[in-house]
Structure 1
C-alpha cells in the first residue's frame, strides 16, 4: 500500500526515524461485506452434533494406550486428590471415604462415553 495514496491514511507511531512503526489504515477495509465471517461454519452445524462426537485423542509415538479405568485409578490415587479430599474432610467434617466415593462418582460422570449415542449425531 502506498501511504501517499488518496484512499489511504497513514498514522505514525513513535519516532519518525528508520525504525519507526508505520500503521496504515485503508478505508476500503472498513466495508462490512469484505470482512471474513469466522462464525459462518458454526451457523450451519448443530452444537448437539459436536457434543455427541466421540473423543479420539491423538496417539503419541512410544506411549502405550491406557484404559479409562487405569486413568481413573491414577487420578484417584494422585497426591492432589488426596490433599483435596483431606482438606474437604477437615472443613466439612465428613469421612474421607465418603468424599473419595464422591470423587469417584464425579470421575465416572466426567469419563462417560457417548459413542452409544452416535446414531443421534449422524
Structure 2
C-alpha cells in the first residue's frame, strides 16, 4: 500500500508542478486515465488539453474526453488494456480505472456485434 501512496504523491506533485492546479490529491484516482494518455501519447494528450482549454470547456469535459484515445489504443492492442498499463514503466503501478475497463469491454462488444451482423448480411441468399 505504501508504494501506491508514494506514487500518488509523486504524480500529484508532478501534476501541480506542470500547472495542473485543478487536480487535487483526493481526486487523483479520477485522473489516472488522463495521466495514462499523457504517458502513452504525450502529443495527443497535449493537443486534447489545448483544444478543451481554447473552447473554454471545463476540466470534467476534458477528463471524459481522455478515455476515447485510450479505448482506441486498446482496440489496436487486442483490447488488452491491462497489458498496455503493465508494459509502461510509469503506468504499471496503477490500477486500470474501472470506467476505462468498462468502455473497452463495451466497445469490443459493439465491434463484435457489428462485425457479426455485417458478415451475416453479406452471406444471405438473394430471393
- TM normalised by structure 1 equals 0.25
Larger gyration radius, structure 1 or structure 2: 1
Q: TM-score, normalised by structure 2?
A: 0.24
More helix by percentage: 2
More strand by share: 1
